Amino acid sequence: MAWPWLQTLHTFRQRFREERLGLTAGSLTFTTLISLVPLLTVMLAIFTAFPMFSSFQSALEQYFLKSLIPPNIAKPVLASLTQFAAKANRLGAVGLVALGITALALMLTIDRTLNAIWRVKRPRPMAQRVLVYWAALTLGPLLLGGSLTLTSYAVSVGQGLFTKMPGDLAALLGGADIVLLGLAMAGLFHYVPNTHVRWRHALLGGVFVSLGFTLAKSLLAWYVKQVPTYSTLYGAFATVPVFLIWVYLGWVIVLLGAILAANTPSLTGRLHLRPDTPGQPMALALEVLRELWRVRESGRSGLSHLALARALRVDPLQLSPVLDQLLAMDWIGLLEEDGAQRLVLLCAPERISAEPLLSAFLARREGLLANLWSQGDWPRLTLAVLLASEAA
């Protein structure tokens, strides 16, 4: 099946504008600059506490120099950050706690942004998020540094074999940093949103980010070298604006990768976003209840989120808020068996009043809207009455 390139570009443009991700990338850029020194301080503290990990630190520095930052600005930026972090190590306990809070602020901002892209209304509990991110902050550098050290050691030991390999295979092994970045981004997209994200969708977003970083880094390095605008204007201070531009571009690429991972089910299934018209959530809720009613009456054991979206021909991300509301009302349930999740209908449409549904999706019974309820005689409606023409 051919990939819908035009629909993908349209999705990028639409979601980027709807979620105001340009402003979000700017906010993340500012938060990143504030958090870089605390993050580096925590990492250096780990490496300093365990001298056996000193080789991991050098491997990480080489990785950042080679992979994440254009070579034109990598060395001065890393040298300045290391110098700042070394001074931050002299802070007392209160100062270190403040640095840790600042570092976690960046991760919580990322958490909130990715949940918004996946249209998740309820993030994980704060204690759980802090615990997970603190584990990533402390164990992540060790795991990444260890893998980079082992990779460098394997390449150096087999240097003769490495040089005798075909060019394509040698380039593949030499691009291990691209693979590591892609896997790290896939893990971010899979674990951070408080919803089920399939690994193949997360990996697709990770590959996009990894290739995007590689291309953007090369283009920015070429531009800075060929068009010395910033060095002419700012002189020795030119590293700062170039680094700001690079961080902003990096976050834009990450957010686009998240959009791709989140919208892959709708892109591959040719599912479209319905127009945001008045009453649209109510119409979707009725369609969901109707479809799950049909499934239950036919003797089947529910539908997955994606199967339900395909049955209704609607974008799964547009369907998520409706499902969350129906789950909160206990009208539908989410069952998990053998790692697979199924949505099932819990209510009896013939006996349950439609009043909670109308109040949640259409109009609350308060103020002047109470007249609408009394004149329309809505409280006497049952759900089966609303679904009768469709379910017949």
- For position 162, what pLDDT does the model report? 41
Q: Residue 286: its pLDDT value, please?
A: 93
Q: How many other CB atoms sit within 10 Å of the CB of residue 117? A: 20
> 3-class SS at 129?
helix
E strands, the chain, are 332-337, 340-345
Q: How far apart are CA 254 and CA 113, in angstroms?
A: 11
Radius of gyration over every alpha carbon of the chain, rounded to an integer in angstroms = 26
Residue 82 · residue 45 · CB < 8 Å: no
**Domain 280-391: which CATH class?**
mainly alpha
**What is the structure's pLDDT at 180?**
77
In whole angstroms, what is the distance from residue 89 CA to residue 69 CA?
24
pLDDT of residue 373: 78
What's the CA gap between 301 and 364, in Å, rounded? 33
Nearest to 302 by CA among 332, 278, 328: 332
Q: What pLDDT does 381 receive?
A: 84
Quote the pLDDT of residue 130.
72
Provide the whole-model pTM. Answer: 0.72
Domain map of the chain by residue range?
5-268, 280-391
Backbone angles phi, psi at 293, to 5 degrees: -65, -45
- Collect contacts of 240-247 with beta carbons under 8 A, ≥24 apart: 242/70, 242/72, 242/73, 243/69, 243/73, 243/77, 244/29, 244/33, 245/220, 246/69, 246/70, 246/73, 246/217, 246/220, 247/29, 247/32, 247/33
Give the sign of the dihedral formed by CA 326, CA 327, CA 332, CA 336. Answer: positive
Structure tokens at 280: 């649209």
Q: In this structure, what are the phi and psi dihedrals at residue 20, rounded to the nearest 5 degrees?
A: 50, 50
- pLDDT value for 362: 84
Task: List, in order, residues 6 or more apart from 152 with CB less than 8 Å away.
Answer: 59, 62
Which pLDDT score is estimated for 255?
Answer: 93
Provide the terminal-to-terminal Cα distance of the chain, rounded to the nearest Å. 36
Residues 6, 95 contacting (CB under 8 angstroms)? no
User: Tens digit of pLDDT per residue, the chain (392 long)?
Assistant: 577 788 888 888 888 888 888 888 888 888 777 776 666 666 665 555 555 555 555 655 555 555 556 665 656 666 665 665 555 556 556 666 666 676 677 778 888 888 888 888 777 777 777 777 766 665 555 555 555 455 444 444 444 444 444 445 445 445 666 787 888 889 889 888 888 888 999 999 999 998 998 888 888 777 767 766 655 555 555 667 777 888 888 899 999 999 999 888 888 877 777 777 888 899 999 999 999 999 999 988 889 888 898 899 888 888 888 998 999 999 999 888 766 788 999 998 988 988 899 888 888 878 888 787 777 777 788 889 888 754 44
Pairing of strands 340-345, 332-337: antiparallel
Backbone angles phi, psi at 249, to 5 degrees: -60, -40
User: 273 burial class (0-12, 13-18, 19+ CB within 10 angstroms)?
Assistant: middle
CB neighbourhood size of 374 (10 A): 11
Rounded to 5°, angle at Cα 231 from 230 and 236: 120
